[in-house]
Amino acid sequence: YNVWSWFGLHGTVGTGLSLGQKVQPRMMLGAGISIGNKNALTVDFGSIGGYVDRVSKNADFIKNYVEKPEVLINELKFSSFWSVGYIFKF
């Protein structure tokens, strides 16, 4: 949406990947502004969510175990993001 010829507002929706030991999908939703006539500088902000591995609150690291216990749990977590970009208009 163009407020003025050089200033615009936009929404962002996208997917992403975490690149840890286990690749996991992410979903992003946000909004931003663009500044420029022919080409534009963009600033976006929003929320990113996905499943992450966390250490269980019941994990006991002092106790000796016969077999390796499963201490990681998979939980849905949301956080914020921001980005800076550039739009090339043809």
Residue 10 in 3-state DSSP? Answer: strand
Q: What gap in Å lies between CA 9 and CA 32, rounded to an integer?
A: 6
Per this entry, what is the length of the chain?
A: 90
Residue 57 is classified by DSSP as T
The strand pair at 23-35 and 2-4 is best described as unpaired
- 83: phi then psi, degrees, rounded to nearest 5: -150, 155
pLDDT at 69: 65
Point out the residues of the chain with pLDDT beneath 50: none
Is residue 30 within 8 A of residue 11, CB to CB? The reply is yes
pLDDT at 62: 74
Q: Please name the amino acid found at residue 43.
A: V
pLDDT at 1: 64
